[in-house]
Amino acid sequence: MKLFLRDQWSFLLMFFIQLFILVLTFALDGYWNPSLIRYAVFLCLFCGGCFLVIRYLTNRLVYQRLSNPVKSLEELTLSHGHSPLGRAMDHTFQHHYRLFKDQLHAYETKQRDHTTFIQQWVHQMKTPISVIHLLLQDEDDARLESVREEVDRLKRGLETVLYSARLDRFEQDFLIEPVSLRKLAQSAVSENKRLFIRNQVYPELAVGEGWVVESDEKWLSFVLNQLLTNAVRYSDKKGSKVTIRSYARGKHAVLEVEDSGIGIPPEDVQRVFQPYFTGENGRRYAESTGMGLYLVKEICQRLHHDVELDSTVGAGTKVRIVFYSVVPTLQERKPDES
As a residue count, the chain comes to 338
Q: Write out pLDDT tens, residues 12-30.
A: 899 899 989 988 888 887 7
Residue 249: which H helix or E strand, with range? strand 241-249
Residues 272, 263: Cα–Cα separation, whole Å: 12
b/e map of 272-289 (b: 16 or more CB within 10 Å)?
A: bbeeebbbebbeeeeebb
Q: Is the pTM of this model over 0.75?
A: no
pLDDT tens for 104-150 read: 999 989 988 888 888 888 888 888 888 887 887 777 777 777 888 88
pLDDT tens digits for 43-55?
A: 989 998 998 899 8
Biggest CA pair distance of the chain: 121
Q: Three-state SS for 192?
A: coil
Write down the pLDDT at residue 279: 78
Predicted pLDDT at 89: 85
CB 26 within 8 A of CB 35: no
| Rounded Cα distance, 269 and 312, in Å | 10
DSSP string, 128-188: HHHHHHHHHHT---GGGHHHHHHHHHHHHHHHHHHHHHHGGGGGGS---EEEEHHHHHHHH
Give the pLDDT mean for 197-207.
90
What is the 8-class DSSP label of residue 41? H
Give pLDDT, residue 85.
Answer: 84
**Residue 295 near residue 272, CB atoms below 8 Å:** no
SS3 138: coil
Where does the pLDDT of residue 167 fall: very low under 50, low under 70, confident under 90, or very high at 90 and above?
A: confident
- Residue 38 CB contacts under 8 Å (≥ 6 apart), including other chains: none
Please tell me the distance from the alpha carbon of residue 290 to that of residue 295, in angstroms, as a whole number. 9
> Over 50: is that where the pLDDT of 336 sits?
no
**Which pLDDT score, from 0 to 100, does residue 120 have?**
85
